[in-house]
Amino acid sequence: MKIRSYSLLKVFALIACGIIPICSQTKTNLDVFKVLVDSSLSEALLNLSDSQKEIYVELKLGSPYSNFENQIFKSIQAQKKNITTTSNTLENIRLSYSIENAAVNYGEVFRDGFLGNHFVDRKIYITGSYLIDSKEMSIKDFYFESIDTVEFDEIQTLENSSYPFTQGGIPTEPFLSNLFEPLVALTTAAVVIALFFTIRSK
């Protein structure tokens, strides 16, 4: 996603015209994971040959990813599939679904223009597999990822301390950047003061 820098006046003008919404909320890391889980299930359900049969769902998530259980069932039902608690594979389709890894990675910190906000690239991905036992058995590994750009200062609000997999290694702000901003501010103040006294002396 390309980030553009706008002057304050331009931003107000665009908001007034309705081009830029006043509140644009970045998806939390957990919300992005849920979207990726939905994508993996959409792929799995496309492989079901008999849409009329009920699906017996067998989950192998492990404790780190047990939070996704409700999301998985919601996703299956949203695709108009019937779920059963009966594991008779002669009458039903068995879907065995597992998540092996879920992680967040952040890129290097960069600026949006001169003295602009700090941003980082955010990469979120899940890996796992699903097994479908219907007329014949098939198993497939999956990998889904989401890559976007988020503000550096909002990283902690996007993560959830209750779910460690939503947290990534937070990069540090560039040292020269932190040093440069106060230096520019002091230089600007010094120039303004110098001009003020120069004008007064004339």
Residues 21 and 110 in one domain: yes
Residues 162 and 136 in one domain: yes
- Does residue 36 sit within a domain? yes
- Does residue 1 sit within a domain? no
Residues 6+ apart with CB under 8 A from 172: 109
Check residues 85 and 60 and name the one with the higher pLDDT. 60
- According to DSSP, the residues that pair with 58 across neighbouring strands are 96
Please give the pLDDT value at position 6: 41
- Does residue 44 sit within a domain? yes
Please give the pLDDT value at position 17: 45
CATH of the domain at 77: 3.30.160
List the domain range (segments joined by +) for residue 112. Answer: 8-171
Residues 118 and 188 in one domain: no
Residues 154 and 187 in one domain: no
- Does residue 111 sit within a domain? yes
Residues 15 and 63 in one domain: yes
Residues 83 and 154 in one domain: yes
Please give the sequence-ordered ranges of beta strands (E in DSSP) within 61-194, or none if there are none. Answer: 83-84, 93-106, 110-111, 118-133, 137-151
pLDDT digits (tens, 9 = 90+) for 30-51: 999 999 999 999 999 887 766 6
Residues 128 and 144 in one domain: yes
Whole-number Å distance between alpha carbons of 171 and 122: 11
Whole-number Å distance between alpha carbons of 172 and 175: 8
Residues 159 and 112 in one domain: yes
Q: Which of 3, 1, 26, 2 is nearest to 112 (CA)?
A: 3
Whole-number Å distance between alpha carbons of 92 and 85: 10
Residues 72 and 94 in one domain: yes
- Does residue 2 sit within a domain? no
Q: What is the mean pLDDT of the chain?
A: 80
Please give the pLDDT value at position 51: 61
pLDDT digits (tens, 9 = 90+) for 130-188: 998 877 788 999 999 999 999 999 999 999 999 999 999 988 876 555 545 555 556 66
Domain total in the chain: 2
- Does residue 176 sit within a domain? yes
Residues 135 and 195 in one domain: no
- Does residue 193 sit within a domain? yes
Whole-number Å distance between alpha carbons of 41 and 14: 39
71 touches 34 (CB < 8 A): yes
- Does residue 69 sit within a domain? yes
Residues 145 and 201 in one domain: no
Q: What are phi and psi of 112, to 5 degrees?
A: -95, 80
pLDDT above 70 coverage of the chain, percent: 69
Whole-number Å distance between alpha carbons of 195 and 15: 36
pLDDT digits (tens, 9 = 90+) for 131-140: 988 777 889 9
Q: Quick check: 67 pLDDT over 70?
A: yes
Over residues 89-117, mean pLDDT = 86
pLDDT above 90 coverage of the chain, percent: 48
Whole-number Å distance between alpha carbons of 151 and 178: 16
Q: Quick check: 27 pLDDT over 90?
A: yes
Please give the pLDDT value at position 42: 92
Residues 153 and 194 in one domain: no
